Structure 1
Amino acid sequence: MQTKAYGAQKAKAPLAPIAIERREPGPKDVALDILFCGVCHSDLHTARGEWPGILYPCVPGHEIIGRVTKTGKDVKSFKEGDIVGVGCMVESCRTCEPCQHDLEQYCEGPNGFTGTYNGAAKGGLPNTFGGYSKHIVVDEHFVLRIRHKEHQFAAAAPLLCAGITTWSPLKHWKIGPGQKVGIIGIGGLGHMGVKLAHALGAHVVAFTTSPSKKSAALELGADEVVVSKNRDEMNAHAGSFNFILDTVAASHDLDAFTRLLKRDGALVLVGVPEDPHPSPSVGTLIFGRKSIGGSLIGGIAETQEMLDFCAERDITCDIEMIAMADIDNAYDRQLKSDVKYRFVIDMATLT
């Protein structure tokens, strides 16, 4: 079936209205009208052809909130009218060891997980199309229940990526009361890291290169704010952190932060820089049994856990709503970090 969308026909081309094909819902499928779609940095990199292997036309968007319009005959968990979410994945092999342990993001099947956009599509379609569209059809397994209040739906959309990307490492490294946690970067990911670490009961220290962001970080829930360019402020925290989450997607010196870890502390990376980080000092890691790790989004069960946790505590992303036609301007502003902290598209503006 055909639906309206907004996408790029080739790399570097402005996004524009296009018509795309969606498969007819199968027995296990859920069809939904999209209400809101968050704007992720991955959308920009994909639409503008800055990563390899991009298929065109490209319709980005993997932070989707919508209303169910139809369900397949075998769907048990959702019904028409439900408010649901779709995140970064719409399929995985479901048989490999990670999938069997609710870690679909690490699927070891032949093609890994299927991305919500720019992935291998079902039904003979060339590639998956994301949330910059009126409608989408997704297998029930990859649909998430949204329990936020109606006025929070738009601000809940980025939880499907920014929320789970920060929640998953915080949970895996068992962050909670009595622990000192650092969050590097106060952007789309970092601001959610601060909110979630605070809600989990940790003592939260936000790291920023901009002194002007201090008050904003405190308002988000940070207990302290450190300007990482200030050597005295950094030295005052040496050897004191259980865990530091690095959300910055630009190359930088990791040694400055591994020095701040306690024995057995971990620095975990979720931002992927265009150029590699400088090689870290092995000695700093060895003399303290410290580690540098990484984390990729989260599984479906873990994402539902995060959404329920946030709904119970009225946690949402700080957003700026935009119309669909303003997406290229939003991308340009993203590159300048000119947003607090996530753009969300009102899909009613896609006409």
Structure 2
Amino acid sequence: MSNTEYKFEGWAGFGPESIEGNLKFIEYEPKQFAEDDIDIKILYCGICASDVSTLSEGWGELKDMWPQVVGHEIVGEVVRVGSSPKNGIKKGDIVGVGAQCDSCLQCHYCNKDMENYCSNGMTGTYNGKFSRTSKGSKSYGGYANYWRGPSHFAIPIPKELDPAEAAPLLCGGGTVFSPLVQYGAGKEAKNVGIIGLGGLGHFGVSLATALGAEVTVISHSARKQKDAEDLGAKHFLITGDDEAKAFKGHERSLDLIICTSNAPDMNMSAYLSLLRPGGNFILVGVPETGKIADIPPMTLIFGNVHVGGSLIASPQTLKDMLQVVADQKVKSWIQKWPMSKVNEAVPSMIAGNARYRYVLVNEENGGNL
């Protein structure tokens, strides 16, 4: 089908029930190969909560986008290179691909290393359609043997890094690293709070620490306190069922809060009380309801605090992050699963068993379990 000696095959969902262990292994047709494209033999692919929210249609109906091969934390070996590759990529390189695989590459934001905010719309690594080349072709993700797409969005993996550990950094890590850097973690923002210690939150703690910030983890219970401390957190706030009561005595102690929680019923006034004047509360978790709790305007005005959001990382930000990870020897806390057992791994992650990221290993392609 793909006009190569290898087949593009992967684990596809055909409906919301696919997250219950019903992914099916299929062959599919990738986009038409363009001169700035590469093909990657996939070795590892992280399982991201976005994969589940997409397959379950929690973020909206997929309609004509079934079947869906998800996975946007891809690491593998380059096996084919077009005549105009970017980033100096060549055959045999180990590279990664995160949650974005294309943009217009011409607008103001693309030219400012902000391709994730492309004015003409970004193409997701899965559940997207290409428009710059192979117009209308679907994008397919990393629960697969091979991946094809623009080399501009392939990130060389530093040789010092374990490629399996690098995989979940390409979405989960980049998603928190981007706002940490944007809002000055370790510089202007000396004290950083991380809400939630899960797949995103554990990266938030380790990366904020690597950037020089003093980190406070904010969690519902004490269950993960030791993990937080092992990751580098200096403080641990337990909210229980009454955030306002829990935060008494901690008002105006933080410069920046990264919220990885997707809870729709947070006491926002209580959380914002933790910020110093000029502080920022940045959402990276996305409630499937599409809403956050109400914020009284006076809370913003009298506190001089700001609420914002941050999308995935740009290619340049991913490169910067991987260098910090390599230099500071930041470790990803991962558990490996054979890709052949994806129908066990996905339900296990949904059940909350991951500590803190699952990575699928393509043993047939040479991935190390």
TM-score w.r.t. the length of structure 2 is 0.89
Please report how far the alpha carbon of residue 125 of structure 1 lies from its aligned counterpart in structure 2 after TM superposition.
6.2
CA distance in structure 1 between the aligned counterparts of 2:42 and 2:353, rounded to whole angstroms: 26
Report whether the alignment pairs 1:147 with 2:155.
Answer: no
After superposition, the C-alpha distances for 1:219-252 in whole angstroms (9 at most, x for unaligned) are 0110111102266652121111111110001212
1:114 is matched with which residue? 123
> Which amino acid in 1 is paired with 2:200?
L
2:312 aligned residue (297, 300, 303): 297
CA distance in structure 2 between the aligned counterparts of 1:290 and 1:124, rounded to whole angstroms: 43
- Could you tell me which runs of 5 or more consecutive residues in structure 1 were left unpaired when the two chains were aligned: none
C-alpha change, 1:284 and 1:327, in structure 2 (3 Å) is same
1:321 aligned residue (318, 325, 336): 336
2:34 is matched with which residue? 26
2:252 is matched with which residue? 239
2:324 aligned residue (306, 309, 320): 309
1:41 is matched with which residue? 49
2:66 is matched with which residue? 56
- Could you tell me which runs of 5 or more consecutive residues in structure 2 were left unpaired when the two chains were aligned: none
Which secondary structure does the structure 2 equivalent of 1:12 belong to? helix
Question: Counterparts in 2 of 1:94-173, with a 5 A limit?
Answer: 94-109=105-120, 112-121=121-130, 122-123=133-134, 126-149=137-160, 152-173=162-183
* 2:72 and 2:141 in contact (8 A); partners too: yes
2:203 is matched with which residue? 192
Report whether the alignment pairs 1:210 with 2:221.
Answer: yes
* 1:25 and 1:71 in contact (8 A); partners too: no
C-alpha change, 1:344 and 1:241, in structure 2 (3 Å) is same
CA distance in structure 2 between the aligned counterparts of 1:80 and 1:291, rounded to whole angstroms: 46
Deviates further, 250-259 or 83-92: 250-259
CA distance in structure 2 between the aligned counterparts of 1:17 and 1:215, rounded to whole angstroms: 39
CA distance in structure 2 between the aligned counterparts of 1:17 and 1:159, rounded to whole angstroms: 26
Please report how far the alpha carbon of residue 26 of structure 1 lies from its aligned counterpart in structure 2 after TM superposition.
2.7
CA distance in structure 2 between the aligned counterparts of 1:35 and 1:199, rounded to whole angstroms: 27
Percent of residue pairs identical: 36
After superposition, the C-alpha distances for 1:10-50 in whole angstroms (9 at most, x for unaligned) are 33231011111224543211211000000001111212333
Deviates further, 50-59 or 293-302: 50-59
Which secondary structure does the structure 2 equivalent of 1:293 belong to? strand
After superposition, the C-alpha distances for 1:132-170 in whole angstroms (9 at most, x for unaligned) are 1111122121110100436x1111100000111000001
After superposition, the C-alpha distances for 1:101-121 in whole angstroms (9 at most, x for unaligned) are 111111111xx1000001114
1:9 aligned residue (7, 14, 19): 14
2:83 aligned residue (55, 73, 78): 73
Deviates further, 1-10 or 198-207: 1-10
CA distance in structure 1 between the aligned counterparts of 2:275 and 2:57, rounded to whole angstroms: 37
CA distance in structure 1 between the aligned counterparts of 2:145 and 2:119, rounded to whole angstroms: 32
* 1:30 and 1:71 in contact (8 A); partners too: yes
CA distance in structure 1 between the aligned counterparts of 2:310 and 2:31, rounded to whole angstroms: 32
* 2:254 and 2:276 in contact (8 A); partners too: yes
CA distance in structure 2 between the aligned counterparts of 1:223 and 1:194, rounded to whole angstroms: 10
TM-score w.r.t. the length of structure 1 is 0.94
Please report how far the alpha carbon of residue 289 of structure 1 lies from its aligned counterpart in structure 2 after TM superposition.
1.0
Deviates further, 184-193 or 52-61: 52-61
> Which amino acid in 1 is paired with 2:126?
Y
Please report how far the alpha carbon of residue 329 of structure 1 lies from its aligned counterpart in structure 2 after TM superposition.
3.1
> Which amino acid in 2 is paired with 1:237?
H
After superposition, the C-alpha distances for 1:264-309 in whole angstroms (9 at most, x for unaligned) are 1111110011232220122111112111111001211111111111
Which secondary structure does the structure 2 equivalent of 1:97 belong to? coil
Please report how far the alpha carbon of residue 325 of structure 1 lies from its aligned counterpart in structure 2 after TM superposition.
3.4
* 1:148 and 1:156 in contact (8 A); partners too: no
CA distance in structure 2 between the aligned counterparts of 1:132 and 1:41, rounded to whole angstroms: 14
Aligned length: 348
